[in-house]
A and B are shown apart, each in its own frame.
Chain A
């Protein structure tokens, strides 16, 4: 064979050898997850759940292959496929994954419709006009004669959503959650009609969120002699005028090892007018028995939500323009960083929680054998305002609240949610009691789980609610799953550190404003220095290296010349 032909043959042989080798390597389940907490590997809770499978688990992934115009979905889809592959490997031989495309397969489209997997509608514009695209990204899980659906799955949520649903498939029935509130009952379902939700059912979104994992059952304490045995936890949402008999039911449940979450408020606020109507809860003495005192005053926090407090007219080169005025609404608390207990499983990996018109919680001496943890607290720049403070979001009211808050008091951090664990001594005389360890969580606010708060996109509040219930229901493994990949790694806040160095947040309003302006300038300047330092630094180092290299060559050339001259 001629050398030319031989070399070409070598290339072909190498190609033919590499194809199966690379293809085989793609199928090898050998991977190393270098991330902190191995966030791209299956968590122990998922592995444990998959190990409990005794029969075939069919996973049907509804994916449309054509994502032209929505290419941004591609990395997300690759992550989903990657995780499902790992699930299939770990769950072998019971787990089977099948991918179908409802946009090209009519039977798959019918199946998707039948099980309730709806496509996400994305609108885009091109030269042909506005285009609407249907993107399927749902999952159907079948185990024995039961099935579970994830209508639209995202890579972040997949593992939690998957594990929770498989756990549900493995159980004969879902765990039950008791829900106590003064909301009106749901109207009976009408065949063929969507169920109308009364507007006064203000915790419906919370029920929906908790319903992903639990069967939520409305509980009327006045008509129940005792809490049913199958109820894993009871949520008491914004109670009103609870009577002694109702409290006795709750008291017995808690003393016998039950788990109670209380969302305590002293007012109900109308969403449109922000008018507050005082509430009598009837819970004060009962909570006091366990060393908890919820204050009726309101917490005002400098680290609040930004709201549009009015409009202003600006003179611009193109004439006067109306622009919105933003202000810090101190009664809307934005809890993040140190405000979330980093040591507690419920709050450790949360990004933020938003609370509205919250009340501080004081802890008195606790009953023996009961421990308490503070889960949420306001920032150190917080004050208390009287319970009858007007709640409006106008600039005048916000400025008036700010002045009132700062006058006379020193700012400090206030506890807003406490979790107690242990054997609770009954507050009432109870017959035939069987004491056991339970838990009691008290929040100084119910509006954080109001429908409007959920609708405003406060995702952290939903995660907090789900974490809280999973914790009291002894399902802590799932909490860690839910928070995976959501850990925030914020950068140094140059503005805040500048303010801290120049007198802190307790200064007079005008002085603070001036310091804040300087802080913003300082922050921008620091960022610019960092950026340009990183851009110009390597250039400078390479330039110095080049100079060094040149002078070394020149010296060497000189030496050779001198040596030659001497010789």
Chain B
């Protein structure tokens, strides 16, 4: 219940500043631009949303840290973090509250992008199975990306640094699979890199196949970074 209250507060607080609205408008607008205007959608002449979902990991590299950059860094800079830590909340509840608040913003941004599948369905015979899989995978990938961003936001008191760190780490998570294809890479390490790649798990789900392994991967990454976030705050509380 307390997590829910904190999440609600974080969610609505985002819209007290223009940043929340910018993220909300930018995410679906950029996705539609990359799909309809710069992408070959009309030239391909195929009612499919795979090119639309293919852009999502890269959009999240930019936008997930933008959602999370202020969540801890701003509290620390303005000195409200100490006050927050003295409230009768468990650290776990604080972290989860911020996380679910940020996740709700991403989910709302995704709702605004629903115009794209409905447009494609009006233009051709769209298979809705992969669309459902695609949105589920964006939510899971988004959750993992937000957890990474939240953790990095807790490590600094500067929002810009938090955003830069978040974007860099997420970019690395999205490119690590390519390193596995190099000849000089030892096979075991290559397998590990492939398993860690955000994009590989994401692609499998956007084609409409929901594998329990991929779901567990994203939930595992999310859980790890949320715990890491809690550990950073815990250490700070006692320092």
A94 at the interface (CB under 8 A from B): no
In the assembled complex, the CB of A1 is this many whole angstroms from the nearest CB of chain B, namely: 12
Which residue of B182, B208, B223 contacts A68 across the interface (Cβ within 8 Å)?
A: B182
Contact A26–B213 (Cβ < 8 Å): yes
Among residues 52 to 70 in chain B, which have CB atoms less than 8 Å away from a CB atom of chain A?
none
In the assembled complex, the CB of B48 is this many whole angstroms from the nearest CB of chain A, namely: 6
A534 at the interface (CB under 8 A from B): yes
Contact B181–A489 (Cβ < 8 Å): no
Contact A8–B115 (Cβ < 8 Å): no
A78 at the interface (CB under 8 A from B): yes
A533 to B183 Cα, complex, angstroms:
46
Q: Residue on A with the closest CB to B37?
A: A531
Among residues 193 to 236 in chain B, which have CB atoms less than 8 Å away from a CB atom of chain A?
195, 200, 203-204, 207-213, 215-217, 220, 223-224, 227-228, 230-231, 234-235
Which residue of B25, B195, B231 contacts A10 across the interface (Cβ within 8 Å)?
A: B231
Inter-chain contacts of B208 with A (CB < 8 A): 33-35, 40
With A3-B234, A34-B132, A491-B46 as given contacts, are A18 and B220 in contact (CB-CB < 8 Å)? yes
A236 to B29 Cα, complex, angstroms:
58
Say what secondary structure dominates the interface of chain A.
Answer: helix
Binds B, one of A53-61, A256-264, A299-307, A540-548: A540-548
Binds A, one of B1-9, B74-82, B117-125, B160-168: B117-125
A255 to B192 Cα, complex, angstroms:
63
With A35-B129, A538-B29, A538-B112 as given contacts, are A7 and B234 in contact (CB-CB < 8 Å)? yes
Contact A28–B46 (Cβ < 8 Å): no
A521 at the interface (CB under 8 A from B): no
Which residue of A11, A530, A542, A546 contacts B123 across the interface (Cβ within 8 Å)?
A: A530
A4 to B45 Cα, complex, angstroms:
58
A25 to B216 Cα, complex, angstroms:
6
A199 at the interface (CB under 8 A from B): no
A477 to B178 Cα, complex, angstroms:
38
Among residues 24 to 59 in chain B, which have CB atoms less than 8 Å away from a CB atom of chain A?
24-25, 28-29, 32-33, 35-37, 42, 45-48
Contact A25–B231 (Cβ < 8 Å): no
Contact B234–A534 (Cβ < 8 Å): no
A-B contact count (CB 8 A): 161
Inter-chain contacts of B139 with A (CB < 8 A): none
Q: Residue on A with the closest CB to B234?
A: A7
A68 to B190 Cα, complex, angstroms:
13
With A4-B238, A538-B32 as given contacts, are A27 and B227 in contact (CB-CB < 8 Å)? no
A60 to B178 Cα, complex, angstroms:
25
B97 at the interface (CB under 8 A from A): no
A542 to B24 Cα, complex, angstroms:
7
A501 to B22 Cα, complex, angstroms:
42
Chain A, interface size category, equals 35 or more
Contact A21–B21 (Cβ < 8 Å): no
Contact B216–A21 (Cβ < 8 Å): yes
B15 at the interface (CB under 8 A from A): yes
Interface centre among A22, A28, A78 (most CB of B within 10 A): A22
With A538-B113, A543-B25 as given contacts, are A31 and B211 in contact (CB-CB < 8 Å)? yes
Among residues 1 to 48 in chain A, which have CB atoms less than 8 Å away from a CB atom of chain B?
2-4, 7-8, 10-11, 14-15, 18, 21-22, 25-28, 30-36, 40
A535 at the interface (CB under 8 A from B): yes
With A8-B231, A527-B42 as given contacts, are A40 and B209 in contact (CB-CB < 8 Å)? yes
With A68-B181, A535-B33 as given contacts, are A78 and B204 in contact (CB-CB < 8 Å)? yes
Which residue of B35, B183, B220, B235 contacts A7 across the interface (Cβ within 8 Å)?
A: B235
In the assembled complex, the CB of B128 is this many whole angstroms from the nearest CB of chain A, namely: 8
A74 at the interface (CB under 8 A from B): yes
Inter-chain contacts of B228 with A (CB < 8 A): 11
In the assembled complex, the CB of A226 is this many whole angstroms from the nearest CB of chain B, namely: 49
Contact B212–A531 (Cβ < 8 Å): no
Contact B130–A491 (Cβ < 8 Å): no
In the assembled complex, the CB of B119 is this many whole angstroms from the nearest CB of chain A, namely: 6
Q: Residue on A with the closest CB to B194?
A: A78
Inter-chain contacts of B237 with A (CB < 8 A): 3
A2 to B239 Cα, complex, angstroms:
11
Pairs A-B, 10 closest by C-beta atoms: A34-B129, A25-B216, A531-B36, A66-B183, A26-B213, A542-B25, A35-B208, A538-B28, A534-B32, A7-B234
Additional A-B contacts beyond A28-B212, A538-B112, A539-B25 (14; CB < 8 A)? A10-B230, A15-B224, A31-B210, A32-B210, A33-B209, A34-B129, A35-B209, A40-B208, A66-B181, A71-B178, A530-B36, A530-B123, A534-B32, A543-B21
User: Can you list 5 A-B pairs, Cβ within 8 angstroms, ordered by A?
Assistant: A21-B220, A35-B130, A35-B208, A530-B123, A538-B115
